[in-house]
Amino acid sequence: MTPRSAFLLGVRALLPMHLGVVPFGIIYGVVALQSGIPPLAAVLMSSLVFAGSAQFLLAQLVGAGAPALLSVGAVGLINLRHALYSASVAPILHALPRRWKLLLAYLLTDEAYAAAIPHLLEHPRSPTAHWVLFGAGFALWAGWQLATLAGVLLGAQLPDGLDLDFALPLTFIAIVVPMIDNRARLAAALAAGATAVLLAPLPYKTGLFAAALAGLGTGAFIGNKR
Amino acid sequence: MNWLPLWIACGVITFAIRYSFIALEGHYKPPDWFVRWLPFVPIAALTALTVPELVLVTHQFSIASNPKFWAGLIAIAVAARWRNTLLTIGAGFVALWLLRWLG
Q: Which of A139, A164, A189 is a domain's end point?
A: A164
Residue A158 has pLDDT above 80, yes or no: no
Do A125 and A211 fall within a single domain?
no
pLDDT of residue A226: 54
In 3D, which of A88, A92, A208, A99 has the Cα closest to residue B20? Answer: A88
Tens-digit pLDDT profile for residues A96-121: 999 999 999 999 999 999 999 999 98
Question: Which amino acid, B20?
Answer: S
- Are A55 and A74 in contact by the 8 Å Cβ rule? The answer is no
- Residue A63 has a pLDDT of 87
Within an 8 Å CB–CB cutoff, is residue B94 touching chain A? no
Residue A46 in domain: yes
Contact yes or no for B6 and A71 at CB 8 A: yes
Tell me, yes or no, whether A106 and A132 share the same domain.
Answer: yes
- Name A201's Cβ contacts closer than 8 Å, sequence gap at least 6: A207, B59
**B41 at A interface, C-beta within 8 A:** yes
Distance CA B85, CA A13 (A): 10
Look at residue A171 and tell me if it is in a domain. no
A62 touches A37 (CB < 8 A): yes
Domain count within chain A: 2
- Same-domain pairing of A11 and A112: yes
Q: How many angstroms separate the CA of residue A170 from the nearest CA in chain B? A: 5
More confident residue, A76 or A190: A190
**Interchain pair A53, B50: CB under 8 A:** no
**Assigned domain for A173 exists:** no
Measured between CA atoms, how close is A55 to chain B, in angstroms? 9
Identify whether residues A150 and A185 lie together within a single domain. no
- Report how far apart, in Å, the C-alpha atoms of B14 and of each of A18, A72, A82 are: 22, 9, 8
Given a contact cutoff of 8 angstroms between Cβ atoms, the answer to whether A116 and A13 are in contact is yes
Higher pLDDT, B29 or A59: A59
Residues A143 and A197 in one domain: no
Residue (of A45, A212, A58) closest to B50 by Cα position: A212
Alpha-carbon distance of A45 to A209, in angstroms, equals 23
Q: Do A218 and A116 have their domain in common?
A: no
Same structural domain, A221 and A137: no
The SS3 assignment for A96 reads coil
Residue-level pLDDT, tens digit, chain B, 103 residues: 689 999 999 999 999 999 999 999 989 888 888 878 878 888 998 999 999 999 999 889 999 999 999 999 999 999 999 999 999 999 999 999 999 999 8
The per-residue pLDDT for A86 is 94
Asked if A50 and A160 sit in the same domain, the reply is yes
Q: Return the percentage of chain A with pLDDT > 70, whole number.
A: 99
- Among candidates A194, A118, A158, which has minimal Cα distance to A25? A158
A75 and A154 in a single domain? The answer is yes
Instruction: Tell me whether residue A170 is in a domain.
Output: no
Answer yes or no: is A186 within a domain. yes
Q: Which of A108, A197, A220 sits opposite B36 (nearest CB)?
A: A220
Write the ipTM.
Answer: 0.91
Distance between alpha carbon A223 and the CA centroid of its chain, in Å? 25
Cβ distance A68 to B9 less than 8 Å, yes or no, reads yes
Query: Are residues A135 and A23 part of one domain?
Result: yes
The residues, any chain, with a CB within 8 Å of residue A101's CB and separated by 6 or more, are A93, B19, B22, B23
**Contact call for residues A74 and A204 (beta carbons, < 8 A):** yes
Cα(first)–Cα(last) distance of chain B, in Å? 42
* A48:B7 CB<8 A: yes
Domain end point (choices A117, A138, A164): A164
What domain range includes position A215? 180-226
Strand partners, B66: none
